[in-house]
Amino acid sequence: MTFVSTRIITANVGALVDFYEQITGYSAVRYTDDFAELRTPLAVLAIGSTRTLQLFGGDSVASPATNRSLILEFRVDDVDSHFKRLAGYLGQALVQEPTTMPWGNRSLLFRDPDGNLVNFFTPVTPEATERQ
């Protein structure tokens, strides 16, 4: 089995795609107004509209902008330089400036337009680097 993708269901595909393009530097493939993908070297971030839920069993299978249990994580080469690049853009979405965590990652936490938590992190200890 191979884990390949995470999909976010949203009421505003355009705004969410624009946000993830801005923070990651990747260009999304916008297949329709209801579905887009950002392809990274290791996985895909898919963004689907609430209208796509009909294909998965109906509106009740997922709710946009209600997640408080997931963190989307992106490993970056230098989290501090990403913070400098994004600080003005993030504004009120910033949750935590770069902070070194007990497990050896330096993490920048912020929220996307739907409130999903996003972590840009860089391993900074030998143990954390080895795990990556």
The CATH number of residue 116's host domain is 3.10.180.10
Write out the two tokens for 50.
């609430």
Do the domain assignments include residue 63? no
Can you give the residue range of the structural domain that contains 30?
1-57
78 and 23 housed in the same domain: no
53 and 74 housed in the same domain: no
53 and 81 housed in the same domain: no
Report the domain count for the chain.
2
Q: What is the pLDDT of residue 66?
A: 84
Per-residue pLDDT 10s for the chain (132 aa) are: 999 999 999 999 999 999 999 999 999 999 999 999 999 999 999 999 999 877 777 777 677 888 888 999 999 999 999 999 999 999 999 999 999 999 999 999 999 999 999 999 999 998 999 987
34 and 83 housed in the same domain: no
Q: What is the pLDDT of residue 110?
A: 98
Do the domain assignments include residue 31? yes
Q: What is the pLDDT of residue 63?
A: 75
Tokens 């994580």 found at: 73
For the stretch 8-24, pLDDT in tens is 999 999 999 999 999 99
Of the candidates 57, 76, 99, which is a domain's last residue? Answer: 57
Helices and strands: H and E segment counts in the chain: 3, 8
Do the domain assignments include residue 43? yes
Phi-psi group of 115: left, alpha or beta (phi > 0 → left; psi -120 to 50 → alpha; rest → beta): left
| CATH number of the domain enclosing 31 | 3.30.720.120
1 and 53 housed in the same domain: yes
49 and 98 housed in the same domain: no
81, 77, 64: which is closest to 115 by C-alpha? 64
Do the domain assignments include residue 30? yes
Q: Alpha-carbon distance 119 to 73, whole Å?
A: 5
